[in-house]
Amino acid sequence: MNLTKNQFKEDYVKRLTLTFAQTTTEASLEHKYLALGKLIRDYISESWAETNNYYTKKKCKQIYYFSMEFLLGRLLNSYLLNLNIRDVVKDGLRDLGIDLDTLLELEPDPALGNGGLGRLAACFMDSLASLGFPGHGCGIRFKHGLFNQKIINGYQKELLNNWLKEDFLWEIKKPEKTVTVRFGGVVNLVNTPNGIEPVYSGCEEIDAVPYDIPILGSNMETVNTLRLFSAELPEEEIDLNGLQKGDYQKFIDKKFAVEAISQILYPDDSSFQGKLLRLKQEYFFVSAGLQTILKRYKKLKESIHKFSDFVGIHINDTHPAIAVGELMRLLLDEEGLDWDSAWDITVKTLAYTNHTILAEAMEKWPYDMFKKTVPRILMIIEEIDRRFCEEVSKKYEEDYSKIDSMRIIYNGEVRMANLAIIGSHSINGVAKIHTEILKNRELHDFYLLYPERFNNKTNGITHRRWLKNANPELYKLVIEKSGPECLNDTNKFINFLKYINDDNVLQTLDKIKFKNKEKVVAFVKNKYNIDINPFSIFDVQVKRLHGYKRQLLNVFNIIYLYNQLKQNPELDIVPRTFFFGAKAAPSYYLAKNIIKLINSVANVINNDPDIRNKIKVVFLENYGVSIAELIIPAGDVSEQISTASKEASGTGNMKFMMNGAVTLATLDGANVEIYDEVGDNNIVIFGLTSQEVMDLEKNRTYNFRDILNSNPDLQKILTQLSDGTFSENKEEFKDILNHIYGEGDPYFVLKDFSAYVEAQNKINTLYENRRGWLQMCLVNIAHSGKFSSDNSIRKYAEDIWHIKEVKRGE
């Protein structure tokens, strides 16, 4: 937008005075922040209304991205960047004696997601709006997001996340757009003059109240909507529940149970728990979202049969897969369509993304729970299942194994992935290798049945948040050197390669990285009182804590290094700082035990004079979007070391690459595509391939003892986990020991250990050649444009959603 510094200052001072009845000299920092936020909100509002009116007027096909999670991170700086007024605002505030960066830190970071899946949804929102696509988000307004992590004596403690304690600046409540969601009760099908109709009795009705957040594009005109629903007790219900009789307890219990639905985000990133409340959350936002979409569609006055020409609905993993049943219900029961028409519309409207092949993450609801919670949906799903079995048995005759593997209801469970696949016209994985595994193994039978539905869409990240916002100096350099064509097409980052032999550019890269490292040095000193060396290699593994992500492999190498240095304190190694950031699901004992190990090892190493500060270990508490924005721009080495075949894609790998780190990786997920881009000389690859892992799993031929017996270094490390080296309590690391000795090292940590050590040595050698290292960084940055979510979204738009970019002027 066009805004002069003086105009901004005038607007700001006025806003501050009108809202808080104070001048800039008296106002608290908090009020200064709030006034800025409210002003920026004003700047956005007009375009928001215009965007919506335009979509309706032109009847644009609109996409709704249904997701349990949206991990947005702080929004104020993104709004400033996308409005293109950050510099003006910063200068204007400085004139008033206010530091913009200090105000930005005051914004709460809404953590409405667990990890990659939620952050991907947020990156997609940014790309949709920035490219001018009509695409919105639909989810839940959790009162409490992902827990805040505190480390106490090396253990993870979970604290309640209370991001709504202060009013959230960016949401607008829309009570007039409330819809009703029905749970439980009994449904009978009754013959009426209008045909068969469901009659409900004894069910519970809940209000879904929308809160809208503007998603502002960088294209200066599009403002899409993220609509999050909150669960409330309907007003009529309040009387019916005891107020009249003075039975307040009954009323309070009821209100509590209803509001529970949008109280808190489940903190599991990759395991399915089968909790009733979770099922209610899923149906709650899906039903509310679909009802809202249908209401909006009616205003277009188009035939219901053309629904999928105007609406596309994307389901982000199986959490919203119940949409298949709910859309059918709305079309059959509310719109009065016949089965075949309703089914045709449903399949054409829905598309599904799979984010994992881990068996323990698959959503399978107990049949009885499902039936009690959403009886009408279960009826419909049973009919979908019946028809599906009929179709399959026609095709495969008596091959019951095929029916068993693909049908929805099986063994007393409702299998949500099967429902999603059968009810969608498109099914995609999130990286090439992941999609191949889906097609060839996990979903092979479905692939044979519906080959045309399967496609790959490799994940991406928005360079606006992960480069422009998190690493502004590097962004400036890339744009300046690679040309303005980068602004609209990140693939043009490749022009940066021209500077591969330009010592000035390489020096500048070095300086920028160093400054980013110094920021982290200051942060760590201030927060943990640990001194770290900005000249050391910053080796970073930040992501959720999980067995398959193998933080344990990383720690084992650190212990190995420690042992070497203890044996020979004179050993000449390149100084390194190992950073970890990771939350463990509260009930995941192994993961929590690994956190304790990292902190115990850190404590020993950081305080051992023999080590002479050659290595340091830092655990960054409460890893989330905000900490990521601090640490990723400072990373030299990006640890992407999952057991091959387990990480569907990974997106942190892309963020590090874009910020000029060198990837140390297994050939898993999108690492494979990063490798294809940068080539053998600009990445360090090690370990089992996914084929090797899958073969070992299939043949059950892996025995960790074979490895252990022939590797004294590993023997020593495992001994140290119970001999008091890292904890006085010799039982301390029993979950980890059981993971190896009891479960047999299911993620092949021991198997890949020596390859990993070797790869780490290679990193040292590469790093010692300063120029060579900087050239590797440059190559990585140049190729990172490929992994912008703008590219991913363009492909979704073209192949799956069939939507076009909208330019309001035209």
CB of 594 to ligand Z2T, least distance (A): 17
Question: Which residue from 239, 236, 420, 405 is spatially nearest to 326, judged by alpha carbons?
Answer: 420
Q: Is 217 in the site for ligand Z2T (CB under 6 A)?
A: no
- Out of 592, 655, 739, 786, the active site residue is 655
Task: In whole angstroms, give the CA distance from residue 770 to residue 507.
Answer: 10
- Out of 543, 583, 739, 751, the active site residue is 543
The amino acid sitting at 808 is: R
CB of 437 to ligand Z2T, least distance (A): 12
Q: Which residue, 36 or 265, is less far from ligand Z2T as judged by CB?
A: 265
CB-based contact 498:779 (threshold 8 Å):
no
Q: How many residues bind ligand Z2T (CB under 6 A)?
A: 19
Q: Which residue, 304 or 361, is less far from ligand Z2T as judged by CB?
A: 361
Q: Is 115 in the site for ligand Z2T (CB under 6 A)?
A: yes
Q: Is 650 in the site for ligand Z2T (CB under 6 A)?
A: yes
CB within 8 A of 487, min separation 6: which ones? Answer: 479
Q: Is 458 in the site for ligand Z2T (CB under 6 A)?
A: no
Which residue is at the shortest CB distance from ligand Z2T?
A: 116
The amino acid sitting at 679 is: G
**For residue 267, which phi and psi values (nearest 5 degrees)?**
-90, 20
Q: According to CB under 6 A, which one of 430, 521, 605, 776 is a site residue for ligand Z2T?
A: 430
Q: Is 649 in the site for ligand Z2T (CB under 6 A)?
A: yes
CB within 8 A of 364, min separation 6: which ones? Answer: 272, 274, 413, 414, 415, 416
User: Is residue 543 annotated as part of the catalytic site, yes or no?
Assistant: yes
Class of residue 108 by CB neighbours under 10 A (exposed 0-12, middle 13-18, buried 19+): middle
CB of 136 to ligand Z2T, least distance (A): 19
- Out of 9, 468, 544, 786, the active site residue is 544
Question: Which residue from 224, 203, 240, 55 is spatially nearest to 128, judged by alpha carbons?
Answer: 224
Q: Is 356 in the site for ligand Z2T (CB under 6 A)?
A: yes
- Out of 319, 355, 463, 546, the active site residue is 355
**For residue 199, which phi and psi values (nearest 5 degrees)?**
-120, 125
Which tokens belong to 409?
């209801």
Task: In whole angstroms, give the CA distance from residue 746 to residue 739.
Answer: 8
Q: Is 583 in the site for ligand Z2T (CB under 6 A)?
A: no
- Out of 9, 143, 182, 549, the active site residue is 549
Q: According to CB under 6 A, which one of 116, 139, 217, 312 is a site residue for ligand Z2T?
A: 116
Task: In whole angstroms, give the CA distance from residue 433 to residue 669.
Answer: 6
Letters for 261-280 (x = contact with ligand Z2T by CB under 6 A, - = none) are --------xx----------
Q: According to CB under 6 A, which one of 281, 651, 780, 784 is a site residue for ligand Z2T?
A: 651
Q: Is 459 in the site for ligand Z2T (CB under 6 A)?
A: yes
Task: In whole angstroms, give the CA distance from residue 479 to residue 267.
Answer: 38
CB-based contact 410:381 (threshold 8 Å):
no
User: Is residue 544 annotated as part of the catalytic site, yes or no?
Assistant: yes
Alpha helix segments (H runs only) across 423-550: 432-437, 444-449, 463, 472-482, 503-528
Q: Is 648 in the site for ligand Z2T (CB under 6 A)?
A: yes
Q: Is 442 in the site for ligand Z2T (CB under 6 A)?
A: no
- Out of 51, 508, 651, 666, the active site residue is 651
Question: Which residue from 572, 505, 577, 573 is spatially nearest to 534, judged by alpha carbons?
Answer: 577
Q: Which stretch binds ligand Z2T (CB under 6 A): 45-53, 115-123, 194-202, 220-228?
A: 115-123
Q: Is 355 in the site for ligand Z2T (CB under 6 A)?
A: yes
Q: Which residue, 356 or 720, is less far from ligand Z2T as judged by CB?
A: 356
Task: In whole angstroms, give the CA distance from residue 382 to residue 339.
Answer: 13
Q: Which residue, 69 or 732, is less far from ligand Z2T as judged by CB?
A: 69
The footprint of ligand Z2T (CB under 6 A) covers 114-117, 120, 269-270, 317, 355-356, 361, 430, 459, 647-651, 669
Catalytic residues: 355, 543-544, 549, 651, 655
